[in-house]
Structure formats: C-alpha cells, structure tokens
Chains A and B, each alone.
Chain A
Amino acid sequence: MSDIKITKGQVEYLASLAQLELTRQEMEKFASQLTSILQYVNRIKDVELSDDVQRNFNNVNTFRNDDNPHKAGEHRDAILEAMPETKDNLLVVKKILNN
C-alpha cells in the first residue's frame, strides 16, 4: 500500500490534463491528500474477481427515432444569453491556436 505516492510533478500533470490552475500550496496539499485516498482505494487490488459474473443489463437497446426535429431557433435565445460574450450570434472565445 505504501508504494503509492503521488508526487507534486504528477499533480501538475493531472492539473494540466484537467485544465486546472493550482497554487504551489494546493499542489502540495493535493499530493498528500491524493496519496492517502489512493492508498485507501487501492485495497481493491487484493479483491479477486469471480469468473462467473455475468453483466446484467436491465436497460439495453435504447434509441430514439430520427424525427420531430426541434423548431429552428427554439432554444437559441436562452443559450446565447448565457454566453459570456457573443458577436453576430456566434460565441466569442480567445483565439484558438493549435494548442
């Protein structure tokens, strides 16, 4: 169990995947908290799986038919209004560069 240790570097990597800006204190705090949580949940590694578990799907094959389209513009105003910035009914964001 004690072999699990989340480093500050890993926290930094996770934060960048998750697009979170963290302060140095947060990184340290999260490194130690994530370590203790992972040490706890890692107990499942010792639980053996039975061979005969059948996945029981009580809800399968759900579809909707390709019909009854929304009226054009039906939801437009409410959604555009929620946008922080628009221009000619388009959402404005900072310039998209290729990452």
Chain B
Amino acid sequence: MTKQEDKGIIGNKTGKVYYPTIGLEIHAEMKTQTKMFCRCKNDPFNSEPNTHICPVCTGQPGALPFVNKQAVKNVMRVGVALGSSLADFSEFDRKNYFYPDIPKAYQISQYQYPLVSGGSLVGVELERIHMEEDTATSIHKTNYSLVDFNRSSVPLMELVTMPVIHSADKAIEFARELQLLLRTLGVSDANLEKGEMRIEANISVSTNGHFDGDFSKLGTKTEVKNLNSFKVVGQAIDFEVARHIAILEGESDGELIQETRGWDENKQATFSQRSKETADDYRYFPDPDIPKYRFSDLPEFSVDVLKESLPELPWEKRERYKVAYGIKNEDIDFYLQNPKFGEIFDEAVNELSSDVEYKKLSNYISSDLAGLQKNEVGDLSNVVGTELAVIVQMINRGELSSRGAKDLLLEMYKNGGKAEQIANEKGLIQKSDPEELKRVIEQIILDNPKQVGEYKDGAEKLLQYFVGQGMKATKGSANPSILAELFREGLK
C-alpha cells in the first residue's frame, strides 16, 4: 500500500486507488448541576453506587421526565460556536430498546428535529448535534453484571459529522478541537478516560473518490466503538482502513459487512462485536411526556443572546496570540490546553508593549513556570500576571539576570508577593549604575596589575576574568554586560 495523503491509497495488487471516508459520532456528557430529566445531582463519578437516583432516572412506574433548561442551552451554545443553525421547532423522541442500563427500556433522544444542524469544525462539516440522556453504568463480573444508576439520565449531547474525513490524523484533530471547545465553553469536562467524551468512527473505503453527497458511492461501512483515547482513535481508523483495503484487494480472507466493531488494545486490532439477535428497529416516536419547543418564542435561546454568552473560542484565541503577539505555535497550544497559564499570559501581556517582551514572557510561562508547576511545591495562583510582566520588564532593563529571574519566579510560585520587593529582599537586582560599578572596577584594576598588563598586551579574553571578578565583588548583583563595557573603557 502506498499512501498519497488525501489523494487516496493505491492497492498493492490491483493498483486501484482507495479513498478512506470517515465520519465521527461523538457523545459528551454535559456539565450541569442536575440530571437531564430529574433533579438528581449530575455527579456520576464521585459518589457511592446508586446515590443520585430517583423514581424518574430508575424508570419507576408512573414517573415522568422534566427537561433541564441549562442542558438544552449548553448544546445550543456549542451549536452557536460552531456556526450551526439552531432549531426553531424541536422535540424529544423515544428510542426503544431493551438493556439493563436503560431503565425505561427507551432512551429519550432526538430523531427528526435535533437542536442543532450543520456548522463545521477544523474544516469538517457537521450533520447535527442532538440532546439525549446517558445510560446507567454496568459492571461486568464473571457470572453476573451490576448496574449503577448514578449516571442514568445525565445530559448527553451527540454530535455527528458528515462523512468528510479522510485520515486518522484529521479525525484526531477534529476530536481534540471539539474537546477543547467543550472545555472552553464550560459545558463538559470531556475526559475520554472517564467516558465523559466518547468517540465512535464510521469507516469505509471506496474507489469512487471522496464523498460528494451521494451515500451510495461510499463503500461498506463499519462502526468502531469504545475508543477511549485519541491515540486509539487513530490506531483503530488506520487498522480498519487497512483491513478494508486488504479485503477489497483480495489480500485477506475476511468479509466486509456493515457491522459494529470494538478495539482490542492487546491485539492492536478491531474485532467484530457479535451482531444482535434481531435487527435494530428502535421505533422512534415523539415522547408524549414532553411538550414541543418553539425556540423563536424564547429570546434567551436566540443566536444573538447565545453568542454573547460565549467566551473567546479556541480558534479566536489562537488567531489573537498569533497576530497580536507573534508567539510560538507550541506556546499557543500550551495556553489553549492549559487555560490557567493562558490567563496568566493574558494578564501579563497587557502590561507589555514589544514583541521581544511578549516572546520573553511566553517563554517564562511555557517553560519556566510550567516546569515549576511540574517539579516544585507551590501554587500557580500565587503568580500574578501583572507581576510576571514586571519581571520581564526588569530583565529587559537589565535589572535582573536570567538566573535571578528564575530564583524570583520560584519564590513567587512558592510564596507569592511583588516582583520588585522580592528582588530587593533577596538582593537579586543587578547593579547597572555605572558610577557605583566604576569604583568596584577601579579597585579590581588596582588589585590585578599582572592581568591588566597581559590584557593590554593583547590577551583580550582576560576581559571575562575581570567580569568574573566584578561579579564576585558585587556578589552577582552586577549586570555582566555593563561590567564588560566598563572594564573595556577602564583598561584602555
């Protein structure tokens, strides 16, 4: 197989060009105080089993759902951020199927009228985003299974992309960016390991070129579920694409059928999840327990109002950092992934005015401060952005050596405080006053007649020796470049 980026993959045997097509379905648990349809606390991870349960989320006879406004709003905010269209009319439907983690034997979801349609992210078009409820959690033992309803009916959004992704890398980029967006909006913690964000990939390969809106031109689709890290998303997609092509090329005996597959971490391979006894027939119909929605009657759900509620979005932030401050891409990513550091940068950068300062600031945050957080005991909240700006300015004025800056930063990280005060107390201020330093220099010249003679005879590298003496005499508080300058003058 030869990879040609987006141009398809050439089969070894036949020389045909295969185009992988990938669509993603991503579920994310919404961060709210209460569950989707009842007032149980939405806190599935930090509680004893079956603590946050009630008649509604355990499907007791006669219990009815009541829709949580904030959960709906969260999904609409995601839609506004993605430039999607928001539904005017919407309703909830029942998806009917039996499973021990589905207490009503139907899941309340949305079918014909999702809250959000269209939009795009990192160039990938979206089909829809709808709102539903999460299932309970099952724990599998050797001879039986256990069910915990703490997660039952936690609000869940499901995002479906169009089948327009052609590589594992793009799929990962999309998923990462979505995770970042959900966190930025504060609507979901979106941890993959915890299952707060769940990724399913629909994969097919075809010799008919890329998807052009005609689904019949796509190849046989397999759906890979339970991908619990970005890495696995990539591995599973690559594996499936290769498996499909190998079958189509006749290099492998496997059969290509529409099915659901799982990922085997040990074998590093996908495997068929046994097809169900009966065909999927979910018998969707509008949930008669939930009245309809006409969002045009609700000003708080208008695009304008929702837009105003949005914070700076990841791509907006990226653009700002690039254009206004010209900082490194790695630093930009670091701030997006670590918003606390980003906040410190934003606070500090306001006090600064030149590209040199911006870069120096970013460097101190992304390498030094980040290093402190990793290796030292302290608190990031001790570090105030405006004080960090002062440090950068002191360095630029030559008042602080890079060694001194590191010491100052450590002190600040551990105990907080004002930059200048710490520098003074710790004697970290570099002596740059030529008048004051002149006396030191004169003394050193008097004390070192031999070296002075050699220097004057042309041993210019001895300048470093004099600077070293000067640093010693000032206990490191002198600015070495100024010292050098002054020695050069004094030894003429």
Contact = CB atoms under 8 A, between A and B. Distances in A.
A and B touch in the complex (CB under 8 A): yes
B145 A94 contact: yes
B41 A72 contact: yes
B39 interface: yes
B109 interface: no
B479 to A, nearest CB: 58
Contacts of A63: 67-69, 72
B47 A72 contact: yes
Given A60-B293, A61-B291, A70 B276 contact: no
Contact of B294 (A19, A57, A90): A57
Contacts of B290: 62
B52 A98 contact: no
B49 A90 contact: yes
Nearest to B96: A17
A94 B141 CA distance: 10
A96 B145 contact: yes
Nearest to B260: A98
A90 B50 contact: yes
Contacts, number: 125
B95 to A, nearest CB: 13
A53 interface: no
B274 A99 contact: yes
B483 to A, nearest CB: 64
Contacts of B54: 70, 74-75, 79
| Interface SS, B side | loop
Contacts of B434: none
Given A61-B298, A64-B69, A79 B60 contact: yes
Given A91-B147, A93-B145, A61 B49 contact: no
Given A80-B50, A89-B48, A95-B145, A60 B291 contact: yes
A66 B48 CA distance: 22
A99 B277 CA distance: 7
Given A75-B55, A91-B147, A98 B49 contact: no
A72 B52 contact: yes
A10 B100 CA distance: 26
Contact of A69 (B39, B48, B69, B276): B39
B139 interface: yes
Contacts of A21: none
A90 B49 CA distance: 6
A73 B34 CA distance: 14
A67 B144 contact: no
A63 B275 CA distance: 39
B25 interface: no
A57 B55 contact: no
Interface in B253-300: 273-278, 281, 283, 290-295, 297-298
B70 interface: yes
A43 interface: no
Nearest to B55: A75
Interface residues of B, number: 57
B53 A79 contact: yes
Contacts of B298: 61
A87 interface: yes
Interface string B57-77: 010100000111111100000
A89 B149 CA distance: 10
Contacts of A99: 274-277
Contacts of B47: 72
Contacts of B51: 72-73, 76
A11 B273 CA distance: 27
Nearest to A69: B41
Contact of A62 (B67, B101, B145, B146): B67
A59 interface: yes
Contacts of B281: 17
B52 A70 contact: yes
Given A60-B293, A69-B39, A79-B53, A95 B100 contact: no
A57 B292 CA distance: 8
Interface in A6-58: 13, 16-17, 19, 57
Contact of A96 (B58, B100, B273, B277): B100
A93 B147 CA distance: 8
Nearest to A91: B147
A68 B39 contact: yes
Given A68-B39, A70-B39, A96 B50 contact: no
Contact of B278 (A17, A57, A69, A91): A17
Interface string A74-88: 111001101000011
A90 B146 contact: yes
Contacts of A65: 69-70
A98 B273 contact: yes
21 contacts: A17-B281, A57-B291, A61-B294, A62-B66, A64-B66, A64-B69, A66-B34, A66-B71, A69-B39, A70-B54, A72-B47, A72-B51, A75-B53, A75-B54, A79-B53, A79-B55, A90-B148, A91-B147, A92-B145, A96-B99, A96-B145
Interface of A: 13, 16-17, 19, 57, 59-70, 72-76, 79-80, 82, 87-96, 98-99
Question: Closest 6 interchain pairs by CB?
Answer: A66-B70, A63-B69, A90-B146, A99-B276, A91-B147, A96-B145
